[in-house]
Structure 1
Amino acid sequence: MRPQFMPYALHHVQLAMPEGREDEARRFYGDLLGLADEAKPEPLAGRGGVWFANGDLRLHLGVETAFRPARKAHPAFLVTGLPALAERLAHAGHQPRWDDALPGVQRFYVDDPFGNRLEFMAQGV
């Protein structure tokens, strides 16, 4: 029997970050990846962290006191210009780790400044 409700979309993905490193997050996610800084609602602004958006894509970085980077769990971003992004990240000191395990998918992994694992992919290549 089908439930009376059904999730239909993701609103956002949240990753943890250490306290006080919002500027570093803005440089990586904003300047390097091109995501726009999204204002946090006033009741949440005092908690620290940074929110980013690009169209329907939303990524929140929340401060975690006993921070430990996500090494396995990760968001996967579909991107255009994947090789150019890999070059841009490498030039900025974030070395891509290419993975060809999925047929028809070009992808790589990279760590954000806090050690969180991120995946970037292009399909149909």
Structure 2
Amino acid sequence: MRVYGLDHVQLAMPRGAEAEARAFYIGVLGLEELPKPPNLAVRGGAWFCGERLHLHLGVENEFSPARKAHPALLVQGLAELIARCEAAGHPVVNDEPLEGYDRVYVADPFGNRIELMEPLG
């Protein structure tokens, strides 16, 4: 037996906010939307993917954003992505340095914390 990988990360979102999710995850971060299987689509939410990531947003009836727990997304062109986030009204927050990376945090439209990390060198 072994644990050998990560299939996806799921964050919560409020009911009926799929358009806001798409505006941020597609329009700002540049991810693509994956169609949800029909039996899961009736629950609401949205699935997104990038080159090496799958990120699911699921509806939580008594929604509360993840302000500490977070996914860390590897990026290229962090400065450009910071500018896109800020231009779209999503300010970034710097944190303590992490050896080998430039990194910032941004909140999605629902207040979920997202770390954006660009490897150095």
**TM-score normalised by the chain length of structure 1:** 0.93
Q: Which has the larger radius of gyration?
A: 1
CA apart distance, 1:9: 0.9
Counterpart of 2:16 in structure 1 is 20
Matched, 1:8 2:4: yes
**Structure 1 residue runs of 4 or more that deviate by more than 3 Å after TM superposition:** none
Measure, in 1, the Cα distance between the counterparts of 2:24 and 2:79: 17
2:57 to 61, 86, 93: 61
On the 8 A contact 1:76/1:118 being kept in 2, the answer is: yes
Supply the distance in 2 between the matched residues of 1:35 and 1:107 (Cα, whole angstroms). 18
Which deviations, in whole Å up to 9, do the C-alpha atoms of 1:77-98 show, x marking residues without a partner?
Answer: 0000000000110111101112
Q: Which residue does 2:110 correspond to in 1? A: 114
1:77 aligns with one of 73, 78, 90: 73
Aligned sequence identity (%):
55
Separation in 1 of the partners of 2:49 and 2:118?
Answer: 19
Give the one of 34, 38, 41 matched to 1:38.
Answer: 34
Root mean square deviation of aligned Cα: 1.0
Letter in 1 for 2:42: G
Q: CA deviation at 1:124?
A: 2.0
Deviates most, 26-35 or 94-103: 94-103
Q: Which amino acid aligns with 1:15?
A: L
Which structure 1 segments of 5+ residues have no match?
none
1:58 Cα offset (Å)? 0.4
